[in-house]
Amino acid sequence: MEESKQLPLLSLIVPVLNEEESIGPFLDAIQLKLAGLPADLEILFIDDGSTDGTITEIERAAAYDNSIRYLKLSRNFGKEAAMTAGLDHAKGDAVVPIDVDLQDPPELIHEFVRLWQEGYDTVYGMRASREEDGRRKRASAGLFYRVFNHLSHTYIPPNAGDYRLISRRVVDVIRQMPERNRFMKGMFAWPGYPSTGVEYDRPARFAGETKWNYWKLWNFALDGLTSFSTWPLRIWSYIGGVIALLSLIYMVGIIIHTVIAGVEWPGYASIMSAVLFFGSIQLISIGVLGEYIGRLYVESKQRPIYMVDKD
């Protein structure tokens, strides 16, 4: 036991929302698959406002294993906030956010740690395939990463999730990022530093069900884009410029036509289409402004990102 003092400490951050049936199997898998890891483990559960027996399960496990710690948030704040709480409270020299549903295979951590000890600050898991996701989800995720990486200076590797190892210095950078709209995938990538990926096959959830739906995913994508790019705001000057130019050409055309052919009354269709077209362009651009202003409003309130009820 004396020599285990030399080992680095690795913190697993495990956000959980109503996962009572997953806690036990998760801990068993960790124990089984991470035996012989050249690091001491700290398992930090963040109960994100569960309303089932999740916290009882965690307390029971923590009672006889002192590498297990937990935080209980005062209500459901969302996975991103729960991970933030985990990053703030983890003590490790490196940190691995991991899902409790075993969709993030624990055995991958051996490879994470090996590459970390080779000098990488971030080692992210990359899904080799997204078979379990279904066609529509895969296509929309693919589109999102393409758009994001085009618009943002921060590159996020497609098919990388939150499952990754990040070193202490990256954790400390992320802890200095005060934003309330926390798109963690982008925030994990923002600090830079040497990083690499490891491929894995992501299995299906083994118990319980996903907390995502399309509406949540859409808002998640908007959070990501607005947090890491101002392009959607700025593009309207260019769209406006192009439309103004086209209008000018059209105007000159009409004037010449009128001079040559005289005044014509009919024109309902063209006027109607112009009114509708410009109306919708303006609404869209105001909507985009709204997306940013809404987020600015949230940021300006400076509310805490999460509240701890018990730790």
Q: Which residues bind ligand UDP (CB under 6 A)?
A: 15-17, 19, 48, 76, 78-79, 82, 99-101, 103, 205, 210-212
Nearer to ligand UDP, 103 or 285 (CB): 103
Residue 101 in the binding site for Mg ion (CB under 5 A): yes
Helix (H) or strand (E) holding 47: strand 40-47
Q: Which residue has the tokens 């991958």?
A: 108
Q: Classify 16 as helix, strand or coil.
A: strand
Strand duo 122-127 + 308-310: pairing: unpaired
Q: Give the nearer residue to Mg ion in terms of CB position, either 48 or 101.
A: 101
Distance of alpha carbon 115 from alpha carbon 121, whole angstroms: 9
CB 127 to Mg ion: min, Å:
12
Choice between 16 and 81, CB closer to Mg ion: 16
The angle formed by the CA atoms of residues 271, 276 and 278, to the nearest 5 degrees, is 95
Question: Minimum distance between the CB of residue 98 and Mg ion, rounded to whole angstroms?
Answer: 11
- Report CA-CA distances (Å) from 273 to 74, 242, 256: 53, 17, 21
Alpha carbon 253 to chain centroid, angstroms: 50
Task: Identify residues 102-121 at the interface with Mg ion (CB under 5 A).
Answer: 103
The stretch near Mg ion (CB under 5 A) out of 29-37, 104-112, 154-162, 203-211 is: 203-211
- Minimum CB separation of residue 186 from Mg ion in Å reads 20
- Provide the CB-side half-sphere exposure for 14 (13 A, CA): 30
Q: How far is the CB of 82 from ligand UDP (least distance, A)?
A: 4
Question: Residue 78 or 191: which CB sits closer to ligand UDP?
Answer: 78
The DSSP code sequence of 262-311 is ------HHHHHHHHHHHHHHHHHHHHHHHHHHHHHHHHHHT--S--EEE-
Please, which residue, 47 or 121, has the CB nearer to ligand UDP?
A: 47
For 114-172, the three-class secondary structure string (H helix, E strand, C coil) is HHHHCCCCEEEEEECCCHHHCHHHHHHHHHHHHHHHHHCCCCCCCCEEEEEEEEHHHHH
Binding mask 228-267 for Mg ion (x = CB under 5 A): ----------------------------------------
Q: Choose among Mg ion, ligand UDP, none what residue 48 binds, the Cβ cut-off being 5 to 8 Å by kind.
A: ligand UDP
Residue 136 C-beta: closest distance to Mg ion, Å: 17
CB 19, min distance to ligand UDP, A:
5
92-100, 113-121, 130-138, 181-189 -> range binding Mg ion (CB under 5 A): 92-100
Structure tokens at 167: 């070193």
Binding residues vs Mg ion (CB under 5 A): 99, 101, 103, 205
